[in-house]
Chains A and B, each alone.
Chain A
Amino acid sequence: MPKPTAETPIRVLIAKPGLDGHDRGAKVVARALRDAGMEVIYAGLRQTPEEIVESAIEEDVDLIGLSCLSGAHMALFPRVLKLLKARKVRDVPVFAGGIIPDDDAKRLRRIGIRAVFGPGTSLEEIVRTARGIARRPS
């Protein structure tokens, strides 16, 4: 049933790479994006970067959100970006959140993570950012 493209919900993958078990933040963000009308594929805990990238491809998402509170973000996030590049996924932006020191956040943004959010970020800001950076159907 052809629907105008503008009404098609944004599809977002929310995943937690690594062994980090803190999933509250990821769930809160997933729910906020859903309430903003997006389709959130919640991949859950303990995802390898390989799994995250394969899920993003199969689900054809418009945005990838990574959450990490364990401190392993500098090992995991760049690996996701690298794998995306290797699979020739160039049009799907990545944003992230969790416990990420400012310096790390800066470096992550430099290598291509579009936005990094820490504790206490308002959900409105996260939703606004998601809308702003998500790929639009071509």
Chain B
Amino acid sequence: MTAARPLPAAARALLRGDRRALARLISQVERGDPAVGPVLRALHARTGRARVIGITGPLGVGKSSVLNILLAHLREKGHRVAVVAVDPSSPFSGGSVLGDRIRIERDPADAGVFIRSMASRGRSGGVSAATRETVRLLDAAGFDVILVETVGSGQVDVEIRDIASTNVVVLVPHLGDEVQSLKAGLFEIADVFAVNKSDLPGAEAAEKDLSELVSLGAPRDGWRPVVVRTSARERTGVAELWTAIEAHEAFLDAEPGRRAAAERGRVAKEIVGLVQARLARETSERLAQSEDDARLLDDVVGRRIDPRSAADRIYEDHRKPARRARRK
């Protein structure tokens, strides 16, 4: 169906291993630059090889530190590893201090590692769109494990499920009450629990409590989360953590169609999101620009038409030119 077209120059540079080109493409994705569209389109067929691992959990539990020891472990095993670390944007200034990099030690000459910090930029669904496309670029660039650290917002970021194939939820000992309040979210997304800071007292008890909770719950889609203990400080538990992650990845591959079904669900959400974003953008532009639509707003304010009917009209209107264009 799609004829083979020559790759855009930026895509070729990315495939050649040009790190600046990769970094610039990520910036384009972040700012929603339409120039990145053809690149993503051209690269899609070359993605899908990477294992995308989400690392989430409450603020300050050691997500970046665990990621750091995992990164070292994976490099030792010969994986090429990319990291995407998301931190919140200030709702007031829109600015952000992205500090996850502080925790990550790496050899700057090692081309098998690429680390990118990302601000959530407060747009609804925007993080996941930019994060997801960033992950695709990294996948196409040949990184075979992509670790995504999400905002430690005090509650679990469920959106990571729409991006990663295996999700690690990091917790710490003595999180009793917090675990209770997080429970629904936690169990909705965790494939693996890492009880970090296990150098501190109470880790064993925390692991036991958590394992009990896990064994009480029904498996989600046939998988029961694995609980491991880590200490990023003492660099322990990382082999067990990776084994648990690999076990979940193996589970996805154990039955034909299981991984594809999971990805299908994620892709459906992504496409809905993309269509939504486009409709929203075009509608805002119209309302700001077209005189007819300005009149429509006046009509709603003047109570001559209700907002729902106005929306219906704009929506119907919107579909017409699109259909015409396709026929051409």
Interface residues of A (CB under 8 A from B): 1-3, 5, 8-9, 11, 30-31, 33-44, 48, 50-51, 53-55, 57-60, 87-89, 137
Query: CB within 8 A of B108: which of A31, A36, A42, A50?
Result: A50
Roughly how many angstroms separate A40 CA and B117 CA in the complex, as a whole number?
Answer: 10
Given contacts A50-B109, A57-B23, contact A42 B95 (CB under 8 A): no
Q: Is the CB of A51 within 8 A of B108?
A: yes
Q: Is the CB of B116 within 8 A of A37?
A: no
Find chain A residues with CB under 8 A from B92 CB.
35
Do most interface residues of chain B lie in helix, strand or loop, or is the interface mixed?
Answer: mixed
Interface residues of B (CB under 8 A from A): 19-20, 23-24, 26-27, 30-34, 89-90, 92-99, 101-102, 108-109, 114-117, 119, 121, 123, 126, 129, 277, 281
Find the residue from A1, A50, A53, A88 having the highest chain B CB count within 10 A. A1
Do most interface residues of chain A lie in helix, strand or loop, or is the interface mixed?
Answer: mixed
Roughly how many angstroms separate A30 CA and B109 CA in the complex, as a whole number?
Answer: 26
Q: Is the CB of A39 within 8 A of B96?
A: yes
Q: Is the CB of B108 within 8 A of A48?
A: yes
Q: Is the CB of B94 within 8 A of A37?
A: yes
Query: CB within 8 A of A42: which of B32, B102, B281?
Result: B102
Find chain B residues with CB under 8 A from A137 CB.
27, 31, 33
Roughly how many angstroms separate A37 CA and B91 CA in the complex, as a whole number?
Answer: 10
Given contacts A1-B126, A59-B116, contact A40 B96 (CB under 8 A): yes
Find chain B residues with CB under 8 A from A5 CB.
31, 33
Q: Is the CB of B277 within 8 A of A1?
A: yes
Identify the closest chain A residue to B24 (Cβ): A60
Roughly how many angstroms separate A8 CA and B96 CA in the complex, as a whole number?
Answer: 13
Identify the closest chain A residue to B129 (Cβ): A1
Find the residue from A9, A39, A40, A42 having the highest chain B CB count within 10 A. A39
27 contacts between A and B (CB under 8 A): A1-B123, A1-B277, A2-B31, A2-B33, A2-B281, A3-B31, A3-B32, A5-B33, A9-B119, A31-B97, A33-B95, A34-B90, A34-B93, A34-B97, A35-B90, A39-B96, A43-B102, A44-B101, A50-B108, A50-B109, A57-B23, A58-B19, A58-B23, A59-B116, A60-B23, A60-B26, A137-B33
Find the residue from A5, A33, A58 having the highest chain B CB count within 10 A. A58
Which 3 residue pairs are nearest across A and B when measured between Cβ atoms? A54-B108, A34-B95, A44-B102
Find chain A residues with CB under 8 A from B90 CB.
34-35
Q: Give, as a whole number of angstroms, the nearest-CB distance from B277 to chain A.
A: 5
Identify the closest chain B residue to A44 (Cβ): B102
Find chain A residues with CB under 8 A from B27 CB.
11, 60, 137
Q: Is the CB of A44 within 8 A of B23?
A: no
What would 6 more interface pairs be, CB under 8 Å, given A35-B93, A37-B93, A54-B109? A35-B90, A55-B101, A57-B19, A58-B116, A60-B23, A137-B33
Roughly how many angstroms separate A100 CA and B143 CA in the complex, as a whole number?
Answer: 41
Identify the closest chain B residue to A40 (Cβ): B97
Query: CB within 8 A of A58: which of B33, B93, B115, B123?
Result: B115
Identify the closest chain A residue to B30 (Cβ): A8
Find chain A residues with CB under 8 A from B277 CB.
1
Q: Give, as a whole number of angstroms, the nearest-CB distance from A19 to chain B.
A: 16
Q: Give, as a whole number of angstroms, the nearest-CB distance from A87 to chain B.
A: 8
Q: Is the CB of B119 within 8 A of A42?
A: no
Identify the closest chain A residue to B22 (Cβ): A58
Roughly how many angstroms separate A82 CA and B1 CA in the complex, as a whole number?
Answer: 49
Find chain B residues with CB under 8 A from A48 CB.
108
Find the residue from A31, A54, A89 having the highest chain B CB count within 10 A. A54
Query: CB within 8 A of B97: which of A30, A54, A89?
Result: A30
Identify the closest chain B residue to A89 (Cβ): B20
Given contacts A53-B108, A60-B24, contact A9 B19 (CB under 8 A): no
Identify the closest chain B residue to A48 (Cβ): B108
Q: Is the CB of A35 within 8 A of B95?
A: yes
Q: Give, as a whole number of angstroms, the nearest-CB distance from A35 to chain B.
A: 5
